[in-house]
Structure 1
């Protein structure tokens, strides 16, 4: 079972020591998997818990609130993914004015040493932290030598000759290059979530949808897509999905709406995962609902044809992590 904490204060979740990874971990791509895998191996060798420290909101979202970067994984999906990668303790620290103002040296003393009793700290390439990004690997190495922990930086990870990064994944998704995104992620890109009630307009138009909210974050792409939906039956279900703000009906919040072909049933409250296969077109504003339905008919036919010629890229999954990773539940230690 993975423990979750949100704040620096309170009792230590790892009083006997820990191995710590730090990063944004948006996407949990191959580079993140490699970093966590190396740290997990060391934690098991030392008989210590593995801790992953991340932040919510992501620092770039905090500093770029007016135009935030696209988000690859929502917090719940990231937590589930980290647990599936064998992380014992997850620190999803609140990125707020107090955290922004904390000097890098104070972060080392208060979080890595006092809170987590770190024995080893693992970070990715170009890692920076603390107020005005004043901390780096050199600072961790110097302070670790004084305070009793070692620092390890993982070199760049490449996939098919390309540097793996969240920025590269966002670029691939924005271009609807799903094979490239899958190479970088180590799995097809999918959005998991719990089905929520919408306006039920699709049902009246002959296209009932399973709706997933994107938590007010900016999704990495918009448009109409051919998709597989996992989590409804024993096999992935062919579908056509819209990801965007629904301009024809004056929507504002990003919403993922998946219409499952040849399915009739109530999915409200069900956890599903929508895997993206191909982009069909941009999201458009139509001159009335009849024109919208005509285009939806064309979209559905195109998606059916594409999916009939393609097998699902992977089996049903509960998390966005590679098959075979251990499954863990999350137990929050603080609200």
Structure 2
């Protein structure tokens, strides 16, 4: 299991020699996965521990909360994914004024070298760190030579000729381009949250749903109907499901909700997940949310949607 440290002191007590990568790693996309693979490989060569250093909250959220990007993953989800991609230890530092004010040279010496016992650092060419983002990859290379700290810049990963980035993934999600987001992530975009009580309208219509209270600040696709999978915890796969994201305009609208009906026979009717933390994997947009003239008209459309989503899974298009 991946170890998670929340302070440099705690990490220093547990790490003696490490190969480190540094970043926010939101989404854990193909580019991040390539970095982790390189860190794992170099750690094996160096006889060191593979380490990912990350920050909470996102630095942009600290300096300009109103401009904070929507999240592609929540912290426990990120740490678990890091472990699955070969990271042995995560150093998850709280991003505060003290960290933001640290001079680049102090960060290299006190955090990387003395704190983590770093012998190698894997970062992007545009990596910035320290007070006012004064630290650069060039400075890291220059200062690292004093401590025998090797700096590696991996090749950028591209899909369809464009660099894979969290910004690009986020753009796909909010545009409803979930199949492209899945290509960039190497897996579906997943929402995390707790199943809460709703208004039980789905059950009255014959489609009992699990109502998901999505973790705050998560990136959501546009309102509409989606082919999804629902799993307890942060598990891969899960039950085939159909999900509506929106305000339920047929019933007068209201707060935005995420409601999921499990398609697998006998499961949806019997499933009791209240209070459970679940993950919802988003595969494909089916149709926009719309207002119907009557509940009966809505039920007829839901039946068509369900048939379409069942066909999607039967064709194996989620593979």
Cα drift, residue 238 of structure 1:
3.4
SS at match of 2:215: coil
Identify the residue that residue 43 of structure 1 maps to in structure 2. Answer: 43
Identify the residue that residue 266 of structure 1 maps to in structure 2. Answer: 272
SS at match of 2:225: strand
The Cα offsets for residues 177-213 of structure 1, whole Å up to 9 and x where unpaired, read as 222212211122232x354323344456434322333
SS at match of 1:21: strand
Are residues 97 and 237 of structure 1, via their aligned partners in 2, closer, same or farther at CA, if it must alter by over 3 Å? same
Separation in 2 of the partners of 1:56 and 1:244? 29
Are residues 292 and 226 of structure 1, via their aligned partners in 2, closer, same or farther at CA, if it must alter by over 3 Å? farther
Does 2:284 match 1:278? yes
Identify the residue that residue 96 of structure 1 maps to in structure 2. Answer: 96
SS at match of 1:73: coil
Q: Please show how residues 42-121 of structure 1 align to structure 2 within 5 Å.
A: 42-121=42-121
Identify the residue that residue 300 of structure 1 maps to in structure 2. Answer: 302
Are residues 163 and 235 of structure 1, via their aligned partners in 2, closer, same or farther at CA, if it must alter by over 3 Å? closer
Identify the residue that residue 195 of structure 2 maps to in structure 1. Answer: 196
Structure 1: runs of 5+ lacking an equivalent: 316-335
Identify the residue that residue 136 of structure 2 maps to in structure 1. Answer: 136
Structure 2: runs of 5+ lacking an equivalent: none
Separation in 2 of the partners of 1:158 and 1:215? 29
8 Å CA contact 2:26, 2:166 repeated in 1: yes
The Cα offsets for residues 127-146 of structure 1, whole Å up to 9 and x where unpaired, read as 11112111111111011101
Separation in 1 of the partners of 2:214 and 2:237? 25
Q: Please show how residues 178-257 of structure 1 align to structure 2 within 5 Å.
A: 178-191=178-191, 193=192, 195-203=194-202, 205-206=204-205, 207-231=207-231, 236-243=238-245, 248=252, 250-251=254-255, 255-257=257-259
Does 2:312 match 1:310? yes
8 Å CA contact 2:124, 2:137 repeated in 1: no
Separation in 2 of the partners of 1:3 and 1:234? 21
SS at match of 2:52: strand
Over aligned residue pairs, what C-alpha RMSD do you find?
2.9
Q: How many residues align?
A: 308
Kindly indicate which of the two structures has a greater share of residues assigned to helix.
2
Separation in 2 of the partners of 1:299 and 1:57? 42
SS at match of 1:180: helix
Larger displacement relative to structure 2 (77-86 or 275-284): 275-284
SS at match of 1:35: helix
Separation in 2 of the partners of 1:213 and 1:256? 7
Are residues 98 and 255 of structure 1, via their aligned partners in 2, closer, same or farther at CA, if it must alter by over 3 Å? farther
Separation in 2 of the partners of 1:63 and 1:250? 32
TM-score (norm 2): 0.85
